[in-house]
Amino acid sequence: MTSAAVDEGWVSEPPDWYDEGEPPDWYETEGAPPPPDDEPPDDGPLDVTAAPSRGSALQVLGDVWGYPGFRGDQATIIDTVVAGGDVVVLMPTGGGKSLCYQVPALVREGTGVVVSPLIALMADQVAALSALGVRAGFLNSTQGGLERSRTERALLAGELDLLYLAPERLTVPATLDLLDRARVALFAIDEAHCVSQWGHDFRPDYLRLSVLHERWPQVPRLALTATATAATRAEIVEKLNLDDAAMFVADFDRPNICYRIVPKDNPRGALLNLICTEHDGQAGIVYCLTRASVDETAAWLTTQGVAALPYHAGMDARTRAANQARFLREDGLVMVATIAFGMGIDKPDVRFVAHLDLPKSVEGYYQETGRAGRDGLPSTAWLAYGLADVVQQRRLIDAGDGDEVYKRQASRHLDAMLALCETVDCRRTQLLRYFGQDGPADGCGNCDTCLVPPQDWDGTLAAQKLLSTIVRLDRRGQRYGVGHLLDIVRGKQTPRVAQLGHDQLSTFGVGADLSEREWRAVVRQMLAARLVHVESSYSTVRLTEASGEVLRGERQVRLRREPAAQPRPKRAAQPKTQPVADGGGEPDPGLFEKLRTWRADTAREQGVPAYVVFHDSTLREIAAVRPTSLEALSQVSGVGAAKLERYGPGVVTLVEQG
Ligand code: ADP
Ligand code: ZN
């Protein structure tokens, strides 16, 4: 949005351009007619051959996943569930939540039932498990009847380790009856924050999941989410009846992500610059607020030579699904999307997440940016933020049709987001504090404010100049938008100024010492701090209660001065906390590229995303260690028994040739 839009009676748009609250495309419909049964039998991903040996959790981790050990609380969580206890798991995206239910599902007798809101991703999740030799399946409306009954039979025969279901399907009587006849090892409720009516991911059927506890009190349950505020946490416990569950709150830091928030000044150009100079040819997500800007931005990036695809809920379902599948399967695509995209996307090598518009809450922002760098390798979270964003978001809240409680909540969320944008302190410390955790005491060294510290300056006088202009106009019974106010303060002789006689005001030209750009930063921060208010109906600026304190000199206004240089992580600079992935020595670049090409071919042949074959971090370790025997390859993190058998000889040959 251009700044002009703020000034020219920028009337709220009809709500349908806005992605919040619309039925998500991945919504499972209860009453969907069953697909015809006369389809050809398929050889889908359901792999019901040999049961993996059930052993201790650590044994299963090594044999199946090829990982040497658990991370953080994983071991304790898994032990609790294996022993039959309920748990609530709060871990950041990429923290390793899936293993918390997948491992116990393999250790305990019976099938682990995973409740997930994302039917569009179930096939990929099952494919990833099948590649590990785990017997997994799903039941949802994308399936044909034959495939479904095949999965049901496997479940009843005890031939499934994991079964994925959407909550809408789980809570229908037929499914409940089916599960009665099966042996259930555990229930994992993924994306458990979907019980929360405050977030944008609310799914009413999550509220009905308390049935699990009533019907199968002896089966352990896990609720898992990456959303960590105390309020959401309390809601999960209450709505899912988890009062007796053990609560695990992980460290929410994502040390490999470099957080950067830049002033919105030619945002598309800045985005292109970011992509070309730091993330050329890499996968990324660009979030926009509106569907129109998603389409425009994707088209524009394409004309600039960036391989970009659009995704929003207004597109037809087929194109949307195709774009999502391409993003997951192909290397180096940029997805331009509304917030309708992203939940459950477990692509590990997303190297950057960019926001072209201000997110509505820190929770949303943290979830969205958390989709970068799940593999633990260095990644960027980049946000462009400006005056118009504050005006627009405040207006969306004011003009929205929520009740007063909702609006107050939304305002609080927005204020926290604005505070993050305007801080002169470490972004990470501020983010973690929002989630009730301590960040690094002396800054993280891997965010823009740590890399290029911004200065703060005394903006009290500037604020008084603007406020007294508003007071003088108020006395005349007049109200104006930001643009005209700044023309007066800066002493700009526009036709409108002349016509209205505003060059006669005593404040005309008192702010000529600051540029237009600097003034906009002043107004933006005053808006963020609620020192002025922009009316939702006509975009006119008015005073607030706090304005008087500033005018009377009772309150000082500290403002942030944007650093001239754009902060960029120094290549050599290591985050103070170590990223999770650690490939050992330096990978051989030639071999790494060879392995990537081999992986792309293999993935295409098998119709799965490349990361299902091996993660980047595994390929990097192989390229560093250069294993020339199956035994040596099996020591690499991410090479479990099934993958060793399937890909081992090919990889060893590649290493020997390389
Ligand atoms: P989440 O669901 O919390 O976002 P995932 O379960 O997808 O995170 O895990 C993120 C990444 O970390 C995955 O690539 C996963 O394989 C890896 N991972 C998780 N736990 C471990 C572990 N103990 N050792 C090695 N890698 C792990
Ligand atoms: Zn920092």
Q: Tell me the DSSP string of 323-346.
A: HHHHHHHSTT-EEEE-TTS-TT--
**The pLDDT value given to residue 142:** 83
Using CA atoms, how far apart are residues 208 and 220, in angstroms rounded to an integer?
A: 17
Q: Which of 61, 63, 67 to mutate to test the pocket of ligand 1 (most atoms within 8 A of CB)?
A: 67
Neighbouring-strand partners of residue 311: 337
The least confident of 21-35, 121-135, 310-324 is 21-35
Helix axis angle for 482-490 and 460-475, nearest 10°, is 110
Cβ pair 530, 544 in contact under 8 A? yes
Question: Would the pLDDT of 321 be above 80?
Answer: yes
**The pLDDT value given to residue 566:** 64
Rg (alpha carbons) of the chain, rounded to whole number:
27
Query: What are the tens digits of pLDDT across the range 586-639?
Result: 889 999 999 999 999 999 898 888 899 999 889 999 999 999 999 999 999 999
CA dihedral of 371, 377, 381, 382, whole degrees rounded to 10: -130
Cβ < 6 A, ligand 1 pocket: 67, 70-71, 74, 91, 93-99, 346, 348, 374-375, 615, 637
Question: Would the pLDDT of 200 be above 90?
Answer: no
Look up the pTM and report it.
0.81
User: What kind and span of H or E run contains 379?
Assistant: strand 379-385
The ligand with the least distance to the CA atom of 580 is: 1
Query: What are the tens digits of pLDDT across the range 334-347?
Result: 999 999 898 888 89
Mean of pLDDT values over 470-480: 93
Using CA atoms, how far apart are residues 61 and 69, in angstroms rounded to an integer?
A: 7
Instruction: Name the 3-class secondary structure at 656.
Output: helix
Question: Would the pLDDT of 571 be above 60?
Answer: no
Output 567 or 16, whichever has higher pLDDT.
567
The least confident of 154-158, 192-196, 598-602 is 192-196
- The percent of residues above 70 in pLDDT, for the chain, comes to 88
Ligand 1 atom closest to residue 92's alpha carbon, by position in its atom list: 3
Question: Would the pLDDT of 48 be above 70?
Answer: no
Q: Where are the beta strands (DSSP E) in 177-330?
A: 184-189, 221-225, 246-249, 257-263, 284-287, 308-311
Average pLDDT, the chain: 86
CA–centroid distance, 97 to ligand 1, in Å, is 7
Using CA atoms, how far apart are residues 533 and 539, in angstroms rounded to an integer?
A: 9
Output 19 or 497, whichever has higher pLDDT.
497
Q: Which of 101, 343, 374, 643 to mutate to test the pocket of ligand 1 (most atoms within 8 A of CB)?
A: 374
Kindly report the protein residue whose alpha carbon is nearest to atom 14 of ligand 1: 375
User: What kind and span of H or E run contains 399?
Assistant: helix 387-399
CA 586 from chain centre, in angstroms, equals: 30
Cβ pair 539, 392 in contact under 8 A? no
